[in-house]
Amino acid sequence: MAQKLGKSIGRCLLCVVTLAAMFLASLCSCSPSGGKTAADENAEQFDETNPIGANAACYVCHMTFVKEELSKTHLKAKITCVRCHGVSAGHANDEDIGATKPDITFERNGVEAMCLECHKRHDVEESETELVCTDCHG
């Protein structure tokens, strides 16, 4: 009888330890970030006004863009790559570099129209060659 009692106590102890471990695991999986869910954090990461989140995938390959005047100026205003080029997940995840173009690309003759969506006017001196915004601004 003492042997059966010992086995019962052992099983109960095992159940208590297992339940305690499960409880602790559930506590660890809770978000310590003020109730933010994974979806909230994911949305912040891809928020186009969040320079780090929105551009992180771009900078993996395009590290030099951080130093370009056009990028620096727009980042100060919280305007990121995503704003003009779309999320471009296919482009960012393409292991065959350059095979998949960004969601939004611009031919040279379309650059000015895109810039003018936000920059309504720009007084620029006339030039002998046809300049587009990025010739001077990055």
Task: Report DSSP letters for 17-62, one per residue.
Answer: HHHHHHHHHHHHTS-TTTT--HHHHHHHHT-TT-HHHHHHHHHTT-
Are 17 and 52 in the same domain?
Answer: no
| pLDDT above 90: percentage of residues in the chain | 1
What total number of domains does the chain contain?
2
Are 26 and 83 in the same domain?
Answer: no
Q: Are 86 and 46 a contacting pair, CB within 8 Å?
A: no
Assessment of whether the complete model's pTM goes beyond 0.95: no
Are 59 and 28 in the same domain?
Answer: no
Are 51 and 115 in the same domain?
Answer: yes
Are 3 and 63 in the same domain?
Answer: no
Residues 6+ apart with CB under 8 A from 68: 138
Are 87 and 63 in the same domain?
Answer: yes
Are 28 and 47 in the same domain?
Answer: no
Is residue 27's pLDDT more than 80?
A: no
Residue 134 CA to residue 112 CA, distance in Å, equals: 8
Q: How does pLDDT run across 37-66, given as a tens digit for each residue?
A: 444 454 455 555 565 666 777 888 888 877
Q: What is the DSSP letter of 108?
A: G
